[in-house]
């Protein structure tokens, strides 16, 4: 059985997921996590909206500072749940 993905891991994998660069195993883990996690489903939905608007997601679209803010938001969300 594959290990569960943490929300933090999902944030890290989302960019690669949209760009089709995830391994099949990691893509399956990400999708399995989404079926069980409303917070990450919403996060991925918003990332998808961003991708549709800009055509792509990359380091310029999700700068390091933004990534840190997202990760902090996820830590706070997990701590409060
Ligand atoms: Zn999650």
Concatenating the DSSP letter of every residue in the chain gives: -PPPPPHHHHHHHHHHHHTT-S-HHHHHHHHHHHTT-HHHHHHHHHHHHHHHHHS---TTTS-HHHHHHHHHHHHHHHHH-
pLDDT per residue over 10-31, tens digit each? 888 888 888 889 999 999 999 9
The pLDDT assigned to 1 comes to 42
Predicted confidence band of residue 43 (pLDDT cuts 50, 70, 90): confident
Please give the model's pTM, rounded to 2 decimal places: 0.62
- Taking the centre of ligand 1 as the mean of its atom positions, its distance from the CA of residue 60, in whole angstroms, is 24
- Taking the centre of ligand 1 as the mean of its atom positions, its distance from the CA of residue 55, in whole angstroms, is 25
- Taking the centre of ligand 1 as the mean of its atom positions, its distance from the CA of residue 39, in whole angstroms, is 6
- Taking the centre of ligand 1 as the mean of its atom positions, its distance from the CA of residue 76, in whole angstroms, is 12
**Taking all residues of the chain, what is their mean pLDDT, rounded to a whole number?**
78
């Amino acid at each position: 059985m594959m290990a569960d993905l943490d929300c933090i891991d999902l944030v890290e994998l989302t960019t690669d997921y949209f760009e089709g660069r995830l391994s099949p195993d990691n893509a399956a883990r990400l999708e399995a996590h989404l079926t069980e996690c409303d917070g990450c489903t919403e996060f991925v939905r918003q990332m998808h909206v961003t991708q549709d608007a800009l055509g792509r997601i990359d380091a310029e679209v999700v700068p390091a500072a933004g990534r840190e803010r997202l990760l902090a938001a996820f830590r706070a969300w997990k701590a409060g749940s």
